[in-house]
Structure 1
Amino acid sequence: MIKKEAITGLILAGGRAQRMGGIDKGLISFQGKPLIDCAITRLKEQVGPIMINANRNITKYSVYGYAVIADETPDFAGPLAGFLAGLKAAQTPYLLTSPCDSPLLPIDLAQMLAVELEKTNAQLVYASTKSANGRHWAQPVFCLMRSDLADSLRTFLSKGDLKIDHWFTELRTSTVVFENEDAFANVNTPEELHALENAAK
């Protein structure tokens, strides 16, 4: 059984947030608290160390007392760049990733993914959801991976490809389907923020 102390939690807050007008999404208020605060609250009981991947407002994120790590490249290269920064910095055998803009993320995310990773001997396990019509949707930024994947990811990114699902095809992967689709709802626009706040009341 993978213990939570063996997992580093990485909160991804390094994006441009263009659809939010360029505002740093992790610092946007959700029900009176910054989104990053919500993510930390949901993750801190599931993992050992926590790191925040951010490319701006480093001082504001540092206030939370966790390591803040930036992408290797300064061009906001997307989640995989955050993954790589996390893999390089992690001191535990496993890395759990989650975006900063999903304030309702499952409180059993790490446990469910860890069980699947051990059962299948996968290198990486990601979350999926099932919609009302029964269709499965991948939630690839919510994943648990072995921390020895840094070289694989660095080689993949050196080809200029930034798509998560393309990297996954090079690995032994599996997925866990979570029943509560709303737990993975994220905030990309002001309208989505208001809708999620109302739904979470």
Structure 2
Amino acid sequence: MRADAIPGVLLAGGLARRMGGGDKPMRTIGGRTILERVIARLRPQCSELILNANGDPARFAAFGLPVIADTVADFPGPLAGILAALDWVAANRLDVALVLSAAADCPFLPRDLVARLHQALIEQNAQLAVAASDGQSHPVIGLWSVALRNELRDALVVEDVRKIDRWTARYRLATVNWPAAPLDPFFNANTMDDIAEAERLAALDERR
């Protein structure tokens, strides 16, 4: 399938404990929420976007995206969100084979994220592809095969696998590296100090 035919899921399941709770993607940077920035960066790259979040979906109504909850009960973590997206695509987009996942608290995602991950997947005959920067992998940001969703469900429910890289190690994995200067495109806002740093980086991002 073409890179621009790949849907994306924004993973917004974090509880923002280090920020005092709430939804991290709803924090504001440079007058825009982090989620607005993520949507703006990924919408031109994906066929459509969906949001993975638990709890009341109405709090995200203003963004106009389908909101899907985890399909595995009581499982905290991004793998559950990825599985929910794969299940949604399998039920609603029968011709789609791949799904992009991205953290909804990464406001500076690369403009060539989907294209480069897709290219690496094909060139390396891989089953999965994940992003990296400065030599560090970011496994929550990657391309996932819909065909592997039942294997992922078994890993979560039967084996209690919770770490993404423990699961991806089972498959042919392509890792695509981006430069971390002048800013790391996979910077994510976990603390209030990160929000302050993001304000500074937002000005750099606008010039990229």
Partner residue, 1:188: 190
User: For structure 1, which segment, 177-186 or 153-162, has the greater mean C-alpha deviation from structure 2 after superposition?
Assistant: 177-186
Counterpart position of 1:8: 7
Tell me by how many angstroms 1:200 deviates.
2.1
Please name the residue that 1:133 is paired with. Answer: none
Counterparts of 2:47 and 2:17 in 1: how far apart (Å)? 32
Whichever residue aligns with residue 26 of structure 1, its letter is P
- Structure 2 counterpart of 1:198: 200
Alpha carbons of structure 1 residues 88 and 29: separation in structure 2 relative to 1, 3 Å: same
TM norm structure 2: 0.89
Q: Secondary structure at the match of 1:63?
A: helix
Could you say which structure has the higher strand fraction?
Answer: 1
Q: Is the 8 A contact 2:99 2:145 kept in 1?
A: yes
TM-score, normalization by structure 1: 0.92
Residues 113/171 of structure 1: CA separation in 2 closer, same or farther (3 Å cut) = same
- 1:82-93 correspondence runs (5 A): 82-90=81-89, 91=93, 92-93=96-97
Residues 40-65 of structure 1: CA distance to partner in whole angstroms, max 9, x if unpaired? 00000001011000113411213222
Aligned residue in 2 for 1:64: 63
How many residue pairs get aligned? The number is 195
Q: Deviations over 1:39-95 (max 9, x none)?
A: 100000001011000113411213222211011245351100100000001122110
Distance change in 2, residues 1:169/1:50 (3 Å): same
1:129 to 126, 130, 133: 133
Aligned to 1:163: 163
Match for residue 111 of structure 1 among 96, 112, 115: 115
Partner of 2:142: 143
Tell me, yes or no, if the aligned pair for 2:3 and 2:114 is still in contact at 8 Å: no
- Is the 1:15–1:55 contact (alpha carbons within 8 Å) kept by the matching residues of 2? no
Question: Is the CA contact 1:52–1:67 (under 8 Å) kept in the aligned structure 2?
Answer: yes
State the one-letter code of the partner of 1:65.
G
Identical aligned residues as a percent: 37
Distance 1:16 1:74, change over 3 A: farther
Rounded to whole Å, the distance in 2 between the matches of 1:86 and 1:69 is: 8
